[in-house]
A = this chain, B = another copy of it.
Amino acid sequence: LSQHVKLEDVARLAGVSAKTVSRVVNGEANVSESTKQAVDRAISALGYKPNLAARSLAASRSFLIGIISPTVDNFYSYFHALHNGAIRACRERGLHLVAEEMDFDTRGSLQRLEGSLRQMRYDGVIVTHPANKNKHVLDLLEHMKIRYVRIGPVSDLHRSDSVSPDETQGLQQLAEHLVSLGHRHIAIAYVEARRRNLLRDSLVKAGADLRHLQFVSLSAAQDPITAGRELASGILALPQRPTAVFTYADDAAAGLIGYAWEHGLNIPRDLSVVGYDDGQVAQAVWPPLTTIREPLDEMARAAVSLLLDPAKDGNARRIVLPVKFIVRSSTAVPSR
């Protein structure tokens, strides 16, 4: 595939003038069916996508829609928070952020992304979960020679610049918090083995007895609230009920807490609960959640920085930002 296919290239292949190609691209009338087809064939053969900048300049329209909305700082969700941070970082540098939404289920989403990248010619691209783990997306970006930064926990660090949360310290603080409150029987509900292992090791380091820890694996596909309720039901049925539970997401913790109230338990008196994310839900439930917050705003800013000042050597750079452990009233001294 060639790097930058132009209108002219298409015109040459189709054996028509550039203007005719332009007519086809813009769906103007006055094009015979036969030439239209010839042009369409040439376009898809070359993978042509019009250059947005050139188009905008000539047609004096931008093909961009703006949306004016307020800065929302508190109570946000993961992706929204990343977007906010990136928008601000861009603005400070005279850039703008464009969201490329991808549904990974749909066939053709990768192709659509490629088309979009072709025409937008981004200065750089930030890749979040789950695209940051998607081989096809990363391959595509590299093939198109587009600078990109992955955001979130990633393996193969050499592959590109990345910005990740560092959970070790936060999880250690959490472990010490629970142990110092007197918790011994602690349940860990996890989706990723990585985080389970980190927390397990932190708890042991904080003095917990490995034999008293319980691990419950949960599917990422499941709705977190339902998962939290099922988790609660499982825990309440246990002969030796833990006094504290860590869940992999605030939503799951919320489901757990709801189930507990419903069944006459009092949180945190009967069960301490720890969430993850510090999203909107963390403060909406009662009691508000002890949780862990990723520095999403700073992570997004760091990603923009990496994108904008190129590495001196060719090596992939990595920025690691510590998560923040937040104590609220969903954890307390166990009653037993």
Contacts and interface: CB of A to CB of B under 8 A. Distances in A.
Interface of A: 51-57, 60-72, 74-77, 79-80, 82-84, 86-88, 90-91, 94-104, 112-113, 116-117, 120-131, 137, 223, 225, 250-251, 254-255, 257-259, 261-262, 279-281, 283-287, 304, 307
A95 B64 contact: yes
Given A77-B75, A88-B101, A225 B67 contact: no
In the complex, the count of this chain's copies comes to: 2
B79 A79 contact: no
A57 B6 CA distance: 13
Contact of A251 (B55, B88, B97, B284): B284
Contacts of A71: 101-103
Contacts of A128: 67-70
B68 A62 contact: no
A280 B283 CA distance: 12
**Residue from the set A54, A279, A280 with the largest chain B CB neighbour count within 10 Å:** A280
B130 A96 contact: no
Contact of A72 (B54, B66, B79): B79
Contacts of A79: 69-70, 72, 80
A249 to B, nearest CB: 10
Given A53-B56, A101-B91, A125 B65 contact: yes
Nearest to A146: B66
Contact of A86 (B65, B76, B90): B65
Contacts of A123: 61-65
16 contacts: A53-B62, A62-B120, A63-B95, A64-B122, A64-B123, A67-B99, A67-B125, A68-B125, A69-B102, A70-B101, A71-B101, A91-B101, A91-B112, A91-B116, A254-B284, A280-B281
A178 to B, nearest CB: 22
Given A64-B123, A84-B101, 5 more contacts: A62-B122, A63-B96, A65-B96, A65-B307, A66-B122
Contacts of A101: 68-71, 84, 87-88, 91
3 closest A-B pairs by CB: A258-B286, A53-B56, A254-B284
Contact of A284 (B66, B72, B91, B225): B225
A37 B258 CA distance: 64
A103 to B, nearest CB: 4
A61 B51 CA distance: 11
Contacts of A127: 67-68
